[in-house]
């Protein structure tokens, strides 16, 4: 997949505070790229610079071959954006907002169809101030898509939503990508990034720590896998520790706890089978994206 966004050595300072420190990344056509990091890491400044809403101190940005500042109108036509703190007038109705925004673009999407596909038709006459948090997020997505963009930038889309509304919004984002829209998703929710993103740019203190798939980040962190089980008959620890995939064996009563690399489960179960031992109440603890985040940045997520 060819890149639709290229960022090279982006730097932005606010007074004495360096918000973005030589960030470089690419976004491939058709993917969901997550930008993950704690509050204040520089995520929003990065995407606002990509959208042409911020002027970086130095660095180069190309969006579909255009410079976001020099070619602002061209980028605006092709990129839809939902900002973290975006608000509409409280008395503006849903249908009015969509009709108004559609007038800003030369070839807008069918706002009525968009309203219907995002489950807002029954709220067409509802004022913005009367919408629930989830409904406001649906409207935000609709407004980001009203110009038929090739790229959508979604900044902290599910912050403040209850768990069900958050999952409903995730399903909407997956539907947007299915339309062929490339998505840049800013988040600090690990579960959100793990479910939605093809790749994740991990940003901390204004710098890109690494860019990889969710599984690749976990592998980079080299976090051990843990399995625990009750053997159907006794087995010596030395038999288990003789496996190259196993790093340690501990016991808690009759429970055996084995730590090792990503292949430790296959190695241990094969060994038990050869010795005609059944692993009762087998439990596997996989490394999570949050584990990888902590390992790679030294910080816990907000």
Question: Which CATH number does the domain housing residue 198 bear?
Answer: 3.40.50.300
User: Of 83, 41, 27, 8, nearest to 293 (Cα)?
Assistant: 41
Residues 184, 276 share a domain: no
The pLDDT of residue 1: 63
Residue 116 lies in a domain: no
Q: Of 188, 219, 250, at which residue does a domain stop?
A: 219
Poorest-pLDDT segment among 15-29, 115-129, 151-165, 175-189: 151-165
Residue 158 lies in a domain: yes
The pLDDT of residue 12: 95
pLDDT value at 169 more than 90: no
Residue 293 lies in a domain: no
Number of helical (H) and strand (E) elements in the chain, helices listed first = 11, 13
The pLDDT of residue 299: 60
Report the alpha-carbon distance of residue 2 to residue 89 in Å, rounded. Answer: 39
Scored b (16 or more CB within 10 A) or e, 118-155 reads bebeebeebbbeebeebbbbbbbbbbbbbbbbbbbbbb
Q: Any residues with CB less than 8 A from the CB of 259 and at least 6 apart, and which?
A: 224, 225, 226, 246, 247, 248, 249
Using DSSP's 3-state secondary structure scheme, residue 162 falls into coil
Residues 159, 36 share a domain: yes
Q: What number is the average pLDDT over the span 3-31?
A: 94
- The DSSP string of 272-299 is HHHTT--EEEEEEEPPPHHHHHHHHHS-
Residue 185 lies in a domain: yes
Residue 266 lies in a domain: yes
pLDDT value at 118 more than 90: no
pLDDT value at 223 more than 80: no
The pLDDT of residue 2: 77
Q: What number is the average pLDDT over the span 83-100?
A: 89
User: Of 38, 39, 62, nearest to 49 (Cα)?
Assistant: 62
The position carrying tokens 């997956």 is 174
Residue 131 lies in a domain: no
The pLDDT of residue 41: 87
Phi, psi of 295 (to 5 degrees): -65, -40
Across the chain, mean pLDDT equals 89
In this prediction the pTM is 0.78
Report the alpha-carbon distance of residue 197 to residue 213 in Å, rounded. Answer: 8
Residues 200, 72 share a domain: yes
- Counting beta carbons within 10 angstroms of the beta carbon of residue 256, is it exposed (0 to 12), middle (13 to 18) or buried (19 or more)? buried
Whole domain around residue 235: which residue ranges?
A: 224-286
Using DSSP's 3-state secondary structure scheme, residue 196 falls into helix
User: Of 46, 47, 54, nearest to 23 (Cα)?
Assistant: 46
Residues 155, 282 share a domain: no
Count of all residues that appear for the chain in the document: 302
pLDDT digits (tens, 9 = 90+) for 255-285: 999 988 878 999 999 999 999 999 999 998 8
- For the chain, the domain total comes to 2
Report the alpha-carbon distance of residue 22 to residue 7 in Å, rounded. Answer: 9
In the 8-state DSSP scheme, what is residue 93? Answer: B
Q: What is the CA radius of gyration of the chain?
A: 24
Residues 176, 59 share a domain: yes
Residues 72, 154 share a domain: yes
Report the alpha-carbon distance of residue 52 to residue 17 in Å, rounded. Answer: 21
User: Of 81, 50, 63, nearest to 147 (Cα)?
Assistant: 81
pLDDT value at 86 more than 80: no
User: Of 170, 153, 23, 131, nearest to 78 (Cα)?
Assistant: 153
- 8 A C-beta contact, residue 133 and residue 143: no
Q: Of 219, 238, 258, at which residue does a domain stop?
A: 219
């Amino acid at each position: 997949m060819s890149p639709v966004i290229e960022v090279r050595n982006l730097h932005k300072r606010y007074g004495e505070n360096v918000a973005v420190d030589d960030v470089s990344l690419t976004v491939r056509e058709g993917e969901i790229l997550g930008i993950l990091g704690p509050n204040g890491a520089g995520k929003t400044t990065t995407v606002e610079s990509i959208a042409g809403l911020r002027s970086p101190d130095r660095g180069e940005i190309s969006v579909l071959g255009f410079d976001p500042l020099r070619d602002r109108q061209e980028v605006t036509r092709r990129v839809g954006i939902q900002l973290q703190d975006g608000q509409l007038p409280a008395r503006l109705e849903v249908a009015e907002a969509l009709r108004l925004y559609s007038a800003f673009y030369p070839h807008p999407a069918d706002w009525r169809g968009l309203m219907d596909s995002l489950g807002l038709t029954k709220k067409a006459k509802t004022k913005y101030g009367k919408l629930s948090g989830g409904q406001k997020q649906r409207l935000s997505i609709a407004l980001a898509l009203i110009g038929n963009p090739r790229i959508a930038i979604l900044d902290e889309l599910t912050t403040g939503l209850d768990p069900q509304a958050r999952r409903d919004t995730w399903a909407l984002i997956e539907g947007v990508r299915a339309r062929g829209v490339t998505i840049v998703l800013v988040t600090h929710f690990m579960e959100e990034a793990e479910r939605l993103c093809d790749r994740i740019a991990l940003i901390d203190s204004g710098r890109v720590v690494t860019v990889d798939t969710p599984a690749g980040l976990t592998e980079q962190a080299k976090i051990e896998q843990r399995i625990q089980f009750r053997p159907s008959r006794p087995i010596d620890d030395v038999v288990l520790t003789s496996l190259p995939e196993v790093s340690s064996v501990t016991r808690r009563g009759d429970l055996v706890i084995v730590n090792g690399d990503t292949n430790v489960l296959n190695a241990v179960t094969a060994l038990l089978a050869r010795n005609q031992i059944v692993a009762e109440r087998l439990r596997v603890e996989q490394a999570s994206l949050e584990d990888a985040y902590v390992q790679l940045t030294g910080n816990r997520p907000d």
